[in-house]
Amino acid sequence: MPQQAGPGRYQIVSQSQVRAGPFLLDTQTGRIWQLREFPGLEGAPSAWREMTIIDDRGAMGITTAQFQKLYPPRHAAPRRR
């Protein structure tokens, strides 16, 4: 009887409760990609775009401090009275 292989390294995960759509997961490294449309390109193609993972323990992604250096907070526009 042939043996059944376990799940593959890369898995596409989708949940109906999440509006973001399917994700591509590398089960060995924890890297994750989201399927996104690129409307600025001809034909508005869809492609996998890697997501940044914030992990303050530093085991998988970048820390909050590293994230804030890469993406500094935007200053809110002054409120009109």
Q: What is the pLDDT of residue 29?
A: 82
Q: What is the pLDDT of residue 28?
A: 86
On whether the pTM is more than 0.85, the answer is no
Q: Which residue has the higher pLDDT, 78 or 49?
A: 49
Distances (CA, A) of 2 to 5, 7, 41, 51, 73: 9, 16, 46, 37, 55
Q: Which residue has the higher pLDDT, 77 or 40?
A: 40
Decide: helix, strand or coil at residue 37.
strand
10 closest CA partner among 23, 79, 42, 75: 23
Q: Between the CA atoms of 64, 66, 70 and 75, what dihedral angle is there, to the nearest 10 degrees? A: 50
Q: What is the pLDDT of residue 24?
A: 92
Strands 46-50 and 10-13: unpaired
pLDDT tens readout for residues 8-57:
899 998 877 767 778 999 888 888 899 888 888 899 899 999 888 777 77
